[in-house]
Structures are given as C-alpha cells and as structure tokens.
C-alpha cells in the first residue's frame, strides 16, 4: 500500500513538472538532409525541399519538452555562423549523408570542428546517418569507422548515439522510427543532466551576448572614426579648392 502511494506521488510530481525548454542545433554538410529530418518530425512533407540558406528555427513539443531546433545551412560559406548558436544549445544533431562517400572526409573534419568547440564539447550528440534508402549508402559500422566517431566523442567527452535513417520516407507519426528513437535518446540524456547543462547554457549565452555587444560597440566606433576622417578629409579638400579658386581670381585681376 505504501509502495503504491509512493508511486502515485512520484507520478503526480512528474505530471506537474513544467515542460523543460531545450534548444538543439542541427548541423551537417549541405544536402545531408537536415531540413528533411526537421520537417518530418514536424509532420510536414520532407520531400522536394530547397537548400537552407542561413538558418531556420523550428519550435515543437516532444513529450515533456518544448524543443527549439536551429536548422543551420551546411554550405562551406555559411558554416562559420554555426558557432554563434552553440552557446544556446543543450545538444547537437549532426546529420550525415550516408550515400555521399566522396565527402566523408569533409564530413569527418566538419564534425571534429563542431565537437571540439568549447561550447559543444561534453554535450550529448545524436548522429543521424541519413539516406539509407539510397544504393551504396554506408552502413552504421562503416560510418563510425570513417568518421573516427568513437575516438572523436571520447576525446571531447560527448555522449553519442548514431541512428541510420531515411528522412524523406515519412513524416509525423510515420516519420522514420530511427529518427524518433534518436531524438528521444537525445532529450532523455539532456534530461538526466538538465540542471548542469542549463546552467552552462545560461553562462555561455551571457558570455556570447557580452562578446557580441563588445563587437557591436567596436564596429560602431570604427564606423564613427571612418566618418570623422571622411568629414575632415572632405573639409580639407574644400579648403584646398577654396584657396585654389581665390588664387585663380587674384591672378585674373
């Protein structure tokens, strides 16, 4: 009887707990299938999508979690902006195109840069080995080997789960079960250490905003100086022209 009441109290406590807010960054090379995976989770058609330029923000509810996903564009020119979102993230979803064997080295190097970043290292990482429906796609074991995944996550103390999947094959309740399983794993592991991760996110976000504010002030100061120099140079040029004009009239008279 006591055990039953304890279980009921525990369930009631969990039921009354407010939804936990979690932010995830979804990264990977261009054409890996990041947006298709997000759209599938949302319940939208994941097919015939244009490449993400910049980023898109998606808010969704997953059980007791209010999840925000930053789907970041994967082109070489835009990857430099990824780090601007690391401080806010509680975890990472890295999407790999399993069928693109030619770019596996680029994928490995990019993943290493992400996991080695001080604002990502130590956070849980879900690797979606996407496009398993395509002929020639690398199997899970081959991806782990080619990405040196075990070595990489151990060096950066990241809990990691890899899920082979096909993002375009379903959406909503019919989304690839591996994607749902992977997302559930990621949120579960964030929940286990939520207070510590949330505290780290708060600290890193404050530092990031302070740096951005300092950078903004420095840029504004540079612009002010440039304008002052242009104004001074412009006035100096006007003075030279005025003197030249006066001398011209003196010569004429």
**pLDDT digit string (tens) for 227-249?**
877 777 766 666 656 556 655 55
Q: Is 133 annotated as a binding residue?
A: yes
Report the chain (253 residues): mean pLDDT per 10 consecutive residues. 51 61 96 90 67 78 93 93 96 97 97 97 97 94 97 96 88 77 96 96 92 82 81 66 58 46
Q: Is 130 annotated as a binding residue?
A: yes
Q: Is 170 annotated as a binding residue?
A: no
Q: Which CATH superfamily is domain 18-192 in?
A: P-loop containing nucleotide triphosphate hydrolases (3.40.50.300)
Instruction: Name the nearest CA neighbour of 166 among 178, 149, 180, 174.
Output: 178
Q: Is 37 annotated as a binding residue?
A: no
pLDDT tens, residue by residue, 130-179: 999 999 999 999 999 999 999 999 999 999 999 999 988 766 666 778 99
Q: pTM of the prediction?
A: 0.80
Q: Is 75 annotated as a binding residue?
A: no
Q: Which two tokens stand for residue 20?
A: 């936990």
Q: Is 132 annotated as a binding residue?
A: yes
Q: Is 30 annotated as a binding residue?
A: yes
Q: Is 123 annotated as a binding residue?
A: no
Backbone angles phi, psi at 251, to 5 degrees: -65, -35
Q: Is 29 annotated as a binding residue?
A: yes
| Every domain of the chain and the residues it spans | 18-192, 194-253
Q: Which two tokens stand for residue 190?
A: 């964030």
């Amino acid at each position: 009887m006591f055990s039953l009441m304890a279980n009921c109290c525990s369930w009631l406590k969990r039921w009354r707990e407010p939804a936990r807010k979690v932010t995830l960054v979804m990264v990977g090379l261009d054409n890996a299938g990041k947006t298709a995976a997000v759209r599938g989770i949302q319940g939208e058609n994941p097919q015939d999508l244009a490449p993400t330029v910049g980023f898109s923000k998606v808010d969704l509810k997953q059980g007791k979690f209010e999840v925000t996903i930053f789907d970041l564009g994967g082109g070489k020119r835009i990857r430099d902006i990824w780090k601007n979102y690391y401080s806010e993230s509680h975890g990472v979803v890295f999407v790999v195109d399993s069928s693109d064997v030619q770019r596996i080295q680029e994928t490995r190097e990019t993943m290493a840069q992400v996991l080695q970043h001080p604002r990502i290292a130590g956070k849980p990482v879900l690797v979606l080995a996407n496009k398993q429906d395509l002929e020639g796609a690398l199997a899970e074991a081959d991806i782990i080997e080619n990405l040196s995944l075990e070595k990489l996550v151990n060096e950066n103390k990241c809990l990691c789960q890899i899920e082979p999947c096909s993002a375009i094959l379903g959406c909503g309740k019919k989304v690839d079960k591996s994607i749902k399983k992977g997302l559930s794993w990621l949120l579960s592991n964030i929940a286990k250490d939520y207070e510590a991760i949330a505290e780290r996110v708060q600290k890193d976000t404050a530092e990031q905003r302070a740096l951005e504010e300092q950078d903004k002030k420095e840029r504004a100061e540079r612009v002010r100086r440039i304008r002052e120099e242009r104004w001074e140079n412009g006035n100096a040029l006007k003075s030279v022209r005025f003197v030249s004009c006066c001398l011209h009239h003196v010569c004429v008279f």
